[in-house]
Amino acid sequence: MKNTETSLHVRGLSQFIDDRHTPEGTLHAAIFDAPVACGKIIKLDCEAAKSSPGVVEVILAKDIPGENQVGNIIADEVLLAENEIEFMGQPIAIVVANSAREARTALSKIKIEINEKTPVTDPREAAAKGHFICPPRTFSLGNTNEAWAKCDIIVEGIAESGGHEHLYLEMQGALATPKENGKMEIISSTQGPTSVQKTVARILNIPMHKIEVDVLRLGGGFGGKEDQATIWACLAALSAQICEKPVKLILRRHEDMRMTGKRHPYSSDFKIGLSKDLKILAYEAQYYQNAGASADLSTAILERTLFHATNSYFIPNMQATAFSCRTNLPPNTAFRGFGGPQGMFVIESAIAKAAEKLGVDPIQIQKANLLDEDDSFPYGQIVKNGRAKATWGDMEKRYELESRRKQIDKFNAENRMVKKGLAVMPICFGISFTATFLNQANALVHVYMDGSAGISTGAVEMGQGVNMKMRQVVASIFSIDVGRIHTETTNTSRTANTSPTAASAGADLNGHATRIACENILARLRESAANILDKPDAANITIQNETVFYDGQATELSWQDLVGQTYLKRISLSAHAHYATPEIYFDKETEKGEPFAYHTFGAAIVETTVDCLRGTYHIDKVDVSHDFGKSMNKLVDLGQAEGGIVQGLGWMTLEEIIYDKKGKLQTGTLSTYKVPDIYFAPDEINVHFMENPFPNAAIFNSKAIGEPPLMYGIGGYFAILDAIKAFRPEVEKKYVAPMTNERALMLMY
Ligand code: MTE
Ligand code: LUZ
Ligand code: MOS
């Protein structure tokens, strides 16, 4: 079913913050940010900026009426730096002016003196100095120390994965409008309206009910607006409060790239031991996460790295320890996969290295260790209705893995300077927020007297199609046309205490809440219908395609008439419902529990061609067998799969974030930071929708799709490596992503 919002997007009619109505007299803010990565502010002179044309106010930390604190999980992040500078790009002052141009012109007139210190940019260096965000976490299963003795081969190594710029099309921003009686209305491009509300309350020192956050849609978030949209909303709200005028703050692309955090780079050590028959007997890993200057979501991301340390494999003895290392970079943050991809890259590197030592294809090791029914994850959850082997088997057969491998080997034997490579990437991704309390949602459904309906939930539309899915839930429960249903903005006054739309759980959580609200209204409507039709038993009433049925027989009563008459009888046509994922729990003391409602599985073949003279490559084909449960919208889900795959391939290949030793971003423009475009995209992406016959906790059994496909992109790295090995078999002792053209070339020569 087509997403009805798409027609707005392609005609340029969908609105983002900058398109929304700005009240008369709206002022514009720009941010003065730290020019160095580490140091102490000695002097800050804003006089010249204050008298710059059009400037209304220059706002500093001391002007904050509440607490100068935006840290969500850990209170370690100031909104505006006052003394210490912790990263280049850290906000120090807000200039508010009549226009955005005047505000930015004034920025250059601010003078700052800093006692500069040497920054730390490397996570291992931070670890050596003891600079951690939180104590390390360790997940383990079995006993690795005993298991090493039983292994026939053991390899050790290092794996490193880089940062990843979100590059949402719509930059970070917010529009804050002071209202009557101290109320503040904030239009924000955020995945977490409640986080914005809560943090603005803290900054302004007012209760949450005085703040209304409204989100129409985001021009992409990808995790970059799960927590980090809050800062810009706070800066706009603070300015609006002080100036007593509406204030708009929208970052420019270069500002956004410089000031905001990205996917966490990781540097990791691994050790893996196998038996002769390719069973992985033991695995150890230590992850050094580059958190940046403050916690942000790093601790939760660190945790998810551990949850996905063994990807789709059963490893009876494992021990993995993760360190969140504080450095002088912008605080890194959520990005599609949320630490999972970083963990998976390490186990895949370990398998690749073991395969090299054993002289086998990594595919053989992967296949020999896939999770089986009733296997235990390292965190204690047991595999139920697992699909690791089923998706692998389908992939192998459907896309003729064996003959593809042979064709590629033949091609490589016949070609000297062009080589093809192939890799398989299985995925297993846990669905639910790992912080159990976040797995709840609310929905408010109104059926209007004309038979149309409006839904408010905590779900934020960011291109992933969650609004369409919410409309489908309502349409399906009432059995009415999707065209009758409107999804309202995500608004904290209509839906309170929302979890961010993240963890791929937006459709599940809000979908179930919407389902429950609709079921409550439907029960009243059936009673009412029995009454109107003068039938004895409401249980025999159904609605099918907008017609009321009794005992399976169509009646004269339509949906619209039923609704109209029910209203006249003074019966409520509205419902509010709450949903909390049942049964999940996790104990951080023992690091065991059942944190996920279910897992999503799949397997992909990635095929590539490498030019061994130039180091350039092309991803030819990605073939996927993915476990969708029972997709409720194949077009939306296919879009998510394709987008995730290309984004994941970009992270693993093209996209390289470089900070120099002084903590300055060297890749802060679109000419220095290369993202996938249509020429880069694989010639072919085939996604087979595998239906899963087992019921699951997803809404209508339609499994979460937002993040999992990104991890197929990891196969791109190993496919290129496979081709490079065909050219130079003795290559590579270290696994470093992204596999840029430059790196590919250096590996070969
Ligand atoms: N798809 C689009 N088009 N834009 C986005 O910003 N974010 C991704 C994914 N797909 C994103 C997207 C991320 S990081 C998540 S967690 C999920 O969508 C969130 O939405 P869901 O919970 O409704 O799947
Ligand atoms: N956000 C979060 C997430 O707060 N907890 C999670 O477990 C998570 N997982 C994926 C993406 N965002
Ligand atoms: Mo997605 S990283 O959970 O916003």
Tens digit of pLDDT for each residue in 363-375?
Answer: 999 999 999 999 9
Residues 242 and 376 occupy one common structural domain? no
pLDDT of residue 692: 85
Kindly state the DSSP code that residue 316 receives in the 8-state scheme: S
pLDDT confidence bin for 582, thresholds 50/70/90: very high
Does one domain contain both 250 and 336?
A: no
681: three-class secondary structure by DSSP: coil
347 token code pair: 């186990």
Ligand nearest the Cα atom of residue 643: 1
Look at 262-271, 291-300, 694-703 and tell me which has the smallest mean pLDDT. 694-703
Which of the ligands is closest to the CA of residue 507? Answer: 1
Give yes or no for residue 308 having a pLDDT over 70. Answer: yes
Q: 3-class DSSP state for residue 662?
A: coil
Work out the number of other CB atoms within 10 angstroms of the CB of residue 348.
25
Asked if residue 334 has its Cβ within 6 Å of ligand 3, the reply is yes
Query: What are 102-128's pLDDT values in tens digits?
Result: 999 999 999 999 999 999 999 999 999
Residue tagged 């059995």 (tokens): 479
Q: Name the E strands within 646-694.
A: 684-691
* Location of structure tokens 């390292």: 378
What is the pLDDT averaged over residues 158-186? 98
Same domain, 695 and 734: yes
> Do the domain assignments include residue 483?
yes
Angle at 731 between CA 728 and CA 736, to 5 degrees: 130
Q: Are residues 417 and 450 in the same domain?
A: no
Which atom in ligand 2 lies closest to the alpha carbon of residue 300?
5
Task: Tell which of 259, 277, 298 closes a domain.
Answer: 259
Averaged pLDDT for residues 118-143: 98
Give the residue numbers spanning the domain of 685: 266-434+592-748
Please list every protein residue whose CB sits less than 6 Å from any atom of ligand 2: 297, 300, 304, 334, 338, 433-435, 438, 502-503
Check if 336 has its Cβ closer than 6 Å to any atom of ligand 3: yes
Q: What is the pLDDT of residue 372?
A: 98
The answer, yes or no, to whether any atom of ligand 1 lies below 6 A from the CB of 712, is: no
Task: Report the pLDDT averaged over residues 421-430.
Answer: 98
User: Which residues fall within 8 angstroms of residue 152, CB to CB, at 6 or more apart?
Assistant: 274, 275, 276
Residue nearest to atom 10 of ligand 2 (CA): 503
Specify the ligand 1 atom closest to the Cα of 338: 14
d(Cα 408, Cα 420) in Å, to the nearest integer? 6
Sheet holding 547-550, edge to edge: 541-544, 547-550, 553-558
Determine the average pLDDT of the residues in 339-362.
97
DSSP string, 272-299: EEE-TTS-EEEEEEEEEEEEESS-TTHH
Q: What is the mean pLDDT of residues 578-599?
A: 97
Q: Which amino acid is at 300?
A: A
Same structural domain for residues 670 and 688? yes
- Distance (Å) from CA 343 to ligand 1 centroid: 20
Query: Which residue from 105, 132, 128 is spatially nearest to 32, judged by alpha carbons?
Result: 105
User: Has residue 641 been placed in a domain?
Assistant: yes
Residues 411 and 429 in one domain: yes
- Residues for the chain: how many in total? 749
In angstroms, what is the span from residue 222 Cα to ligand 3's centroid? 6
Question: Which of 263, 707, 710, when mutated, tests ligand 3's pocket best, judged by the most ligand atoms within 8 Å of its CB?
Answer: 707
Instruction: Choose the residue to mutate in 263, 306, 434 for probing ligand 2, maximizing ligand atoms within 8 Å of C-beta.
Output: 434
Q: Which residues contact 554 (CB under 8 A, 6 or more apart)?
A: 544, 547, 548
Q: What is the DSSP string of 325-338?
A: EE-SSPPP---TTT
Q: Would you say residue 140 lies in a domain? A: no
How does the average pLDDT of the chain come out, rounded? 97
Return the ligand 1 atom nearest residue 507 CA: 23
Looking at the domain assignment, is residue 378 inside a domain?
yes
Ligand that comes closest to the CA of residue 439: 2
730 — pLDDT class (breaks 50, 70, 90): confident
Atom number, ligand 1, closest to the C-alpha of residue 221: 6
Nearest ligand 3 atom, CA 223: 4
Structure tokens at 11: 């005609």
Q: Which of 379, 433, 464, 600 to mutate to test the pocket of ligand 2 (most atoms within 8 A of CB)?
A: 433
HSE toward the beta carbon, residue 427, CA cutoff 13 A: 33
Residues 631 and 739 in one domain: yes
Has residue 456 got a pLDDT over 80? yes
Atom of ligand 1 nearest to the CA of 168: 6
Integer distance in angstroms from the first to the last C-alpha of the chain?
A: 50
Nearest residue (by CA) to ligand 1, atom 3, is 463
Q: Which positions ≥6 away from 589 have C-beta within 8 Å?
A: none
Whether residues 655 and 607 fall in one domain = yes
78 and 207 housed in the same domain: yes
Of 225, 259, 293, which residue sits at a domain end? 259
Would residue 128 count as lying in a domain? no
Q: Which residue has its alpha carbon closest to ligand 2 atom 6?
A: 433
By annotation, the residues acting in catalysis are 707
Q: Is residue 343 scored above 90 in pLDDT?
A: yes
SS3 content of the chain, % helix, strand, coil (to 5): 35, 25, 40
For 480-501, write each residue's pLDDT tens digit: 999 999 999 999 999 999 999 9
- The CATH number of the domain holding residue 80 is 3.90.1170.50
Which ligand is nearest the CA of 434, by number? 2
Q: Does residue 122 form part of some domain?
A: no
Task: Answer whether residue 415 shows pLDDT above 70.
Answer: yes
Q: What is the number of structural domains in the chain?
A: 3
Q: How far is the CA of 624 from the centre of ligand 2 (A)?
A: 24
- The candidate with the shortest Cα–Cα distance to 198, out of 506, 496, 488, is 496
Domain shared by 110 and 10, yes or no: yes
Q: Is residue 127 part of a domain?
A: no
Q: Is 222 in the pocket of ligand 1 (CB under 6 A)?
A: yes
Q: Within this chain, do residues 528 and 621 fall inside the same structural domain, yes or no? A: no
From 220, 236, 259, the end of a domain falls on 259
- Is residue 585, in this structure, part of any structural domain at all? no
Residue carrying the six token digits 């976040």: 438
- CB count within 10 Å of CB 540 equals 15
44 - beta bridge partners? 112
Q: What is the pLDDT of residue 732?
A: 66
What's the pLDDT at 608? Answer: 98
CATH number at residue 721: 3.30.365.10
Residues 296 and 335 in one domain: yes
The pair of three-digit structure tokens given for residue 691, joined into one six-digit string: 């239906």
510-567 residue pLDDT tens: 999 999 999 999 999 999 999 999 999 999 999 999 999 999 999 999 999 999 999 9
Q: Provide CB contacts within 8 A for 28, sequence distance 6+.
A: 96, 97, 98, 99, 100, 102, 103, 247, 248, 249
For tokens 């937002």, the residue is 706
Q: Is 338 in the pocket of ligand 3 (CB under 6 A)?
A: yes
Separation of 295 CA from ligand 2 center, angstroms? Answer: 14
Q: Is 486 helix (H, G, I), strand (E, B) or coil?
A: strand
Condensed to tens digits (0 to 9), the pLDDT of residues 187-211 reads: 999 999 999 999 999 999 999 999 9
Q: Give CA–CA dist 107/622, Å, rounded.
A: 47
- The pTM of the full predicted model, rounded to 2 decimals, is 0.97
Question: How far apart are alpha carbons 173 and 184 in whole angstroms?
Answer: 16
